[in-house]
Structures are given as structure tokens and as C-alpha cells.
A = this chain, B = another copy of it.
Amino acid sequence: MPRKSTTLDPQRLDNQICFAVYSAAHAFNRVYKPLLDRLGLTYPQYLVMLVLWERDDVPVKDIGEKLFLDSGTLTPLLKRLEAAHLVKRTRSREDERQVLIALTPQGHALKEKARAVPQSILAASDCSVSELVAMKDEIVALRDRLNAVIGE
């Protein structure tokens, strides 16, 4: 009575790997939420702040390329960050099509308050740093292969 193995059936594997990623993303979000609530940020807003803490005064497009997000997502998000006095949005003088995003003093200051976040996540993941780094690299490689297929 040959029965197909559930864990090896390639028909199901894609569902499993994709669902694993999908559900892990939500789990991460739920762990981040209480931490980010204290900073007044959502997770996507936190990602934008991470980008800006590395380099300031960049056009929306640059942020979008780093985070794989488009203006339909970023424009309202950045307006909310502006309303929270964390960033300032100004049209570029050299190229009026671009909107440059700069941190306010409050935006810069928030970096210090956010220092504790990564450790808390590390603790919650209950995993060694080297293991996490290895996993991260694998997932990034998979993501990049998927993204390479999209533009075809």
C-alpha cells in the first residue's frame, strides 16, 4: 500500500516552505509589536528608520529599493512618520521629481531608544547568533532567486 510521504511530497513542499516563511514573518511581527509600540513605530516603519539611521537624506526610491517596497506603500507610511515628527519630506532641488527623506532630531534620537530591540528579538528566537546568521543567509539567497524570476 504505497502512500506518499507528506513531508517529501513535492506537491506540498512549496506550500510548506512558503507557508513557513509567511507564518514566521507574522510570528516575528507579533514579537516585535510590544517592543516597537514603546517607540511608537510599526514594523515597516521601523525598517524605514533602520535604513535612515544608516544613511539620511535619501529619495523615496532608494528606501523602496532596499526594502522592496513601492511608493504606494511608502508615501503614506512616510507621511505618518512625518506627522510623528521623525522625518522631514522635501522635494529635491536638483531633481524636483524626487522627495528626499531626512531625519529630524527626534528621528535621530530614536536610534538610541531602539538599541535594545535586536537583543530582545535574539532572546525570543532562542537561537545562537551563528545559527541565525546562517539561516538569514540562506533565506536571503532564496529571496534573491525568487526576485530574479519575477522580472521575466
A132 within 8 A of B: yes
A142 to B126, CA, bound (A): 8
Instruction: Give the contacts of A25-41 with B (CB-CB under 8 A).
Output: 25-28, 30-32
A13 touches B149 (CB 8 A): no
A133 to B125, CA, bound (A): 20
A/B interface sample: 21 pairs, CB < 8 A = A8-B133, A10-B119, A11-B53, A12-B50, A13-B47, A13-B51, A13-B132, A14-B122, A16-B118, A16-B136, A17-B132, A17-B135, A18-B28, A19-B67, A21-B139, A22-B25, A30-B147, A30-B150, A31-B149, A125-B145, A127-B145
